[in-house]
Structure 1
Amino acid sequence: MAISNFLNPSDEERDIQDGTPSEDEILQEVIDEHLGLQQTQDDDEEELQERSLHSVKSARQALQVLIEFTEEQEALQLDYLRGLEHLEFALEALDQESQVQSTLDTWIT
């Protein structure tokens, strides 16, 4: 038995060819990866996933920092502070809407 037949049996080769990329396509993907020619689509998807990790709590904390900064600055107009406070109220409402009411059964057991 030849070593090539042992490593790549012909009956398995037919199963592999039914929906998987060819050897040339796999080789091209590996070359592109090592040359830095990866698809930017994968990078965009990862960035979207990373961006969606913020919670209402972290947004409220960041907004509180902005409000404190605005209050300390005399050069900024009062309108900016009012806008940030309006956004803070909207985030509080969003946080309250996301809370789920539970029963007293959870406290007893």
Structure 2
Amino acid sequence: MSKRQPHTLQTEPTPEGEQTLIPGIRPITTRDRLTLLANAPLRPRGEQEPLYIGFLDESARSQLDLFSRGVLITDELRDRHIANGAADDETDHFQP
């Protein structure tokens, strides 16, 4: 019988020291690490505010309604407009 020759294992230098490589497995290169980081989902740089839209939009609920008060312009502003030639029967002025 012939004597089996021992496999010489490949090694690579790492920050922790010399590491032995497993036969048949290629080492992770800098290119592999950069590709992994480039393909990762984007992360925000800072903490994000929650997104309130649609039915659960609490910010929209606290907004004032433009037409709920009834008066769109004041009497003083209306009089100035009429003095400058606006029609007297303005439809956007509410009389309670």
TM value normalised by structure 1: 0.29
In terms of fraction of residues, the more strand-rich structure is: 2
Name which one, 1 or 2, has greater alpha-carbon Rg. Answer: 2
In terms of fraction of residues, the more helix-rich structure is: 1
TM value normalised by structure 2: 0.31
Structure with larger RCO (C-alpha < 8 A, sep 6+):
1
